[in-house]
Amino acid sequence: MVYCVSMQKRFVCMAVLLVLCTPAYAVVLRDVPAHTYADSIEQLVEQGIIQGYADGTFRPNQPINRAEFLKILMLAVYGKESFEGTQEQSSSPCFADFYATAQWFYSHACTAKQRGIINGYPDGTFRGEATVNLAEALKMSLLAWDLPLRRSPPEADEAEWYDPYMDAEASGEVFRTIKREPAALLTRGEAAELLIRLGQPIQTVRADALEQQVQILIQKNAPAICGNGTVERGEECDDGNTENDDGCSEICVVVPEPVRHGFLAIAQRPMGALSVTKGAKNVPLLAFDAGASRQSAYITQLKFSAAVGSLAHGTNYTLYVDADGDDIAEKKLATAVPQNNKLTFSQISIFVKEGYYTRVELRGDVQTSGDVQSFSVEFDASASNFVVGVDAEDGRDMVGIELNGADCTLSSICWIQVHTEDPRLLSFGGTQGSLFVTKDTTPVRSRQLLAGALSDVLLALEFLPTEEDVEMTKLSIGGGSASIDSLELYTEGASSSLAVARKTVCNTVTTGTFCADLHLVLPKDKKTRLLVRARVNADTAGGTSGDAIALSLTSSTAGNVAVEATGQASQLDLNQNDGNSTAEGEIFIGTSTASANVTLTGETHDVVLAKIASITNAHTDPDGTSVPSGETTFARFRFTASPHLNSAGGLNDVVLDSLAFSISATNVQFNSASFLLLNILDQTVTASCTGGTTGAFTVTCSGLENASVNTVIPQGESIELALRGTVTNTQVSNGTSTLQAQLQGLGSRSGGPITWNDEVLSFQWVDIGNSSVKSVLYRTF
């Protein structure tokens, strides 16, 4: 909505952003629904606190500035009262950088000042364009809602000014979803989350508040006389003339610069102390996030110095930058050599995109010999130009550094803001670690792998680092086949995979070998269990019935080696096993002692296009029922097939061809020629079986695939088969009589009591997780 006021020599048009107070039902922000903080953002939209940009976005990942945050805070806490703040006379405004022409955020800032929520900078300015960090946002919010603090604000000689606000009870809820980093620059999305997480009442702002704000702006911009040398309401400047090209135009407007001067904010990331070994490589020494506002920027110079010790204990000092926005500084940018215990990276070019963070890391190697002592690195704040930047669009220099909230050292505005953390202290000791990789002591049995599905665990590995924590960075597993799409890796107890191993990730693509890039930290002297499962191709994608798979880790120390790893303390890559009996920072495969590698091979598994999922007792007689006499159905089993989508040539069924029942007939006698197998759904159709008479014997029902009895199990369905026989004597002699049938010896790939096929190949074993299934137990005393 645009309101225009007729003034002497010109029309002043005030575009009032609907973001101030439009009801939420008119707002659709297309970049919000999938965002982490969508619920909080949408609640503030619904209550008229925020809206978004003209392009229909909210830009939740963009840093928020002081003006924006204070506006939404004041609206959330005070609603329409937030508009009541007024500028004093032009000679004494709320803040020194508030001009005569009222801006959209002036009333909110003035209200906040009048209520004691903010005071501004020592020079009297508000600096609405400056970014806001988490600690500053919490302080303003807690003061605005008048929430209790756990302790009084610290005196000047105490550690940190923000401790009471970070430790407040209400702040605890904020840290459930926002990382507790006081200096972290707040994004627009985090601002919304913070306000909601504090759990206080949120005002609702409606359209009538917009009209009120417009009237205030109109009143504040009453007619003025341009050229009289006095800045009056509605004038941005008045230099006593009506000439152009002197910084103040003929209509008393400051001549706008083509691009607003850029602002650069640098927030150092906290990094704890680290113990490393001599010779450690690529050790992270210092890291920071750089953010730009008003326009993008380039960092062109960085200076560091030793905080403790000497930089001579390190070498190969290198800057790395996050080039793809994934928060990992992976691109090598520049190197420098220390001089006089200082480190200067000049003529560099680190691009910092407006509204986004760029991560930068300083890394270095540790000297391998000599008297290496502890040291740490910090920004060289003794130099006035320890950070230098330029605007990306107009090339203007960024001058002046505001360090840790202190006053700007220049008479004008500082365009660079730096917040530092305690430097990381590197200490030295210990030796480089080794890693022992063996099969887990808990055996993994052979499995049938259903095509088109994720398998059970096929291989269990055990990793034991010594001397230091070790980060495994690559794992290569052989023994696969074309039926396997990929291998999924799980830590013990995890419901989701840690990583996925694929053929294309291997250093050299080799048939049957799958590789995964990892960042798995293995604790020193603690065994870590890693489980491997296979994602099997469906028959339409290459899954083949009968493929035999035995996963393995190679003993080779060249090519696709089994494991690659780096010591956490030493920051040195572990070497491949040299074959001797000394552990010297090496990776040992298939052995728990320092000795030559041994190829580590798991059990053999079979790919199937259909699978028996379970076999259970289906008899309706309870255990303990008296032994029946005459012709009787004394055993009944339910067979269930796994669901699947193997549809080449039609969905594959499980077809039972042979069943061998183990019978225990103690003090009970059968007619050996009376055994029949039948499907419960049609008991008039039977198949003859062979068996014994008494004691322990086997009843075998074979040739079922070609028999009249239906033994076909469609995918996802079940059938019930029963065993019938004639009991000629329920108590051969005095004493207890018992009768029970079971399927035993299940789960062994070498063979078992069931022969079946998946309509492609025949298998003589089943994989149901049990070694035996028993039917009802009959007993007569």
Domain boundary among 608, 641, 674: 608
pLDDT the model gives residue 410? 72
Instruction: Specify the pLDDT at position 617.
Output: 98
Tell me whether residue 329 is in a domain. Answer: yes
Which letter does DSSP use for residue 610 in this model? S
Tell me the three state secondary structure of residue 483. Answer: coil
Q: Are 560 and 476 in contact, with CB atoms under 8 Å apart?
A: yes
Q: Establish if 320 belongs to a structural domain.
A: yes
Distance between CA atoms of 462 and 588, rounded to whole angstroms?
12
pLDDT given for residue 663 in this prediction: 98
In whole angstroms, what is the distance from residue 544 CA to residue 540 CA? 9
- 393, 428, 463 - which closes a domain: 428
Instruction: Return the pLDDT at 677.
Output: 98
Are 594 and 664 part of one and the same domain? no
Residue 380, CA atoms < 13 Å, CB-side half-sphere: 21
| CA 740 from centre of chain | 54
Q: How far apart are the first and last CA of the chain?
A: 96
Which pLDDT value is given to residue 156? Answer: 45
**DSSP designation for 325:** S
Question: Is residue 473 in a domain?
Answer: yes
Q: How many CB atoms lie within 10 A of CB 622?
A: 8
Q: Report if residue 85 sits inside a domain.
A: yes
Number of domains in the chain: 4
Q: Which residues contact 771 (CB under 8 A, 6 or more apart)?
A: 744, 745, 746, 747, 748
Strand ranges (E), 651-702: 654-670, 676-679, 682-688, 694-701
Residues in the chain: 781
Asked whether residue 662 falls in the same domain as residue 722, the answer is: yes
Shared domain check, 590 and 497: yes
DSSP 162: T
Give the list of residues 6+ apart from residue 222 with CB closer than 8 angstroms, or none. Answer: 233, 234
- Note whether 51 and 160 are same-domain residues: yes
Kindly state whether residues 363 and 465 are assigned to the same domain: no
- Residue 597 has what DSSP assignment? -
Q: What is the pLDDT of residue 765?
A: 97
Q: Do 754 and 659 meet the contact criterion of CB atoms below 8 Å apart?
A: yes
Residue 258 lies in a domain: no
Q: Classify residue 253: in a domain, yes or no.
A: no
What range defines the domain where residue 148 resides?
Answer: 2-216
Q: What is the pLDDT of residue 500?
A: 96
Structure tokens at 191: 């601002």
Q: Verify that 99 and 203 share a domain, yes or no.
A: yes
Q: Nearest Cα to 554, choosing from 502, 602, 495, 626?
A: 602
Distance CA 28, CA 52 (A): 9
Q: Which residues contact 378 (CB under 8 A, 6 or more apart)?
A: 286, 304, 305, 306, 307, 420, 423
> Are residue 279 and residue 361 in the same domain, yes or no?
yes
Residues of the chain scoring pLDDT < 50: 1-26, 88-91, 156-157, 214, 218-222, 256-259
Question: Could you tell me the CA-to-CA distances from 171 to 145, 178, 193 in Å, in that order?
Answer: 12, 10, 12
Q: Is residue 303 included in any domain, yes or no?
A: yes
Which candidate, 413, 421, 385, 197, places its Cα nearest to that of 287? 421
DSSP H or E stretch at residue 754:
strand 754-757
The CA-atom distances, in angstroms, between 224 and each of 192, 217, 221, 243, 248 are 40, 15, 8, 17, 15
Residues 582 and 650 in one domain: no
624 close to 717: Cβ distance less than 8 angstroms? no
**∠ CA 362-363-367 to the nearest 5 degrees?**
140
Beta bridge partners of 600: 553
Helix pair angle (66-78, 106-114), 10° resolution: 60
The dihedral formed by the CA atoms of 402, 408, 411 and 416, expressed in degrees to the nearest 10: 10
Q: Of the residues 409, 428, 447, which one is the last residue of a structural domain?
A: 428
CATH of the domain at 628: 2.60.40
Residue-level pLDDT at 154: 52
Distances (CA, A) of 241 to 10, 171, 224, 227, 492: 16, 54, 14, 4, 79
**How far is the C-alpha of 88 from the C-alpha of 233, rounded, in Å?**
11
Q: Is residue 154 part of a domain?
A: yes
Residues 106 and 201 in one domain: yes
Calculate the CA 299 to chain-centre distance.
29
Confirm if 581 and 588 have CB atoms less than 8 A apart: no
- Both 570 and 665 in one domain: the answer is no
Q: CA-CA distance, 305 to 375, in Å (whole number)?
A: 11
- Whether residues 417 and 491 fall in one domain: no
Partner residues linked to 549 by β-bridges: 605
CA nearest to 303, candidates 387, 375, 363: 387
Together in a domain, 472 and 419: no
Q: Is the pTM of this model over 0.85?
A: no
